[in-house]
Amino acid sequence: MLGAVRARPTKAISQNKRPVILVVGDSLSAEYGLQRGQGWVQLLSDRLQQTGSKYTVVNASISGDTTSGGRARLPALLKQHGPAIVLIELGGNDGLRGLPVAGMQENLIAMIRAAQAVGARVLVAGIRLPPNYGRDYTERFYATFANIAKQHDTALVPFLLDGFAESADFFQRDRIHPSAQAQGRILQTVWPALEPLLLAKVGQ
């Protein structure tokens, strides 16, 4: 399971009247096993702040969370933060628990629709499972992210850990959670899909 212990969410850099990027994820985005401030979401916050971006980041990621948990939490988060962009990084724990792909898909679609209903632009971050979960399950699982992104017109990061998933050097001892040195690479993977959303006019 991706982070059975709840990690501390990255502190939001919130300022009134600034458009919000809301990150709803699991331990891959919640700094699990890392020192505070080392996670890729905080690196994103730092990058935006350093470049004078109008956006602020709210990290609502919780270690161990599933798509059903994210779906349940999202309405209150949307009401509280009124985000311009919602980045959904969930599904890994569904897969590691062997939960039905159809249920994960339903939850992700519900989250996308809820975010779009309040005018937010959406980015979906996909994940792959280890091959020991069986070829049929892992392929259907991975394809779900691209399918729903296409069907619901969202931005997509096909694989959050692209480029280093096979290298133990970029993981903590559990071989599931990326190390501190991998966090910058995750941001590099997310950035090309996120940047066009940042450049769009707020409210589009």
* Beta bridge partners of residue 85, listed in sequence order: 21, 121
For residue 174, indicate whether it is catalytic. Answer: yes
* Beta bridge partners of residue 89, listed in sequence order: 25
Of 171, 83, 102, 87, whose CA–CA distance to 130 is shortest?
171
* Beta bridge partners of residue 24, listed in sequence order: 88
Query: What are the residue ranges of helices labelled H in the chain?
Result: 40-50, 67-81, 92-96, 101-117, 135-151, 183-199
Q: What is the Cα gyration radius of the chain? A: 16
For residue 68, indicate whether it is catalytic. Answer: no
Residue 58, classed as helix, strand or coil, is strand
Whether 196 and 202 have beta carbons less than 8 Å apart is answered as: no
Q: How far apart are CA 40 and CA 48, in angstroms?
A: 12
Q: Distances in Å between the alpha carbon of 5 and those of 28, 65, 108? A: 12, 10, 23
What is the maximal distance between C-alpha atoms in the chain? Answer: 47
Catalytic residue among 14, 153, 167, 174: 174
Catalytic residue among 27, 29, 45, 63: 27
Catalytic residue among 26, 63, 65, 177: 177
For residue 177, indicate whether it is catalytic. Answer: yes
Q: How far apart are CA 103 and CA 82, in angstroms?
A: 26
Q: Which residues are catalytic?
A: 27, 174, 177
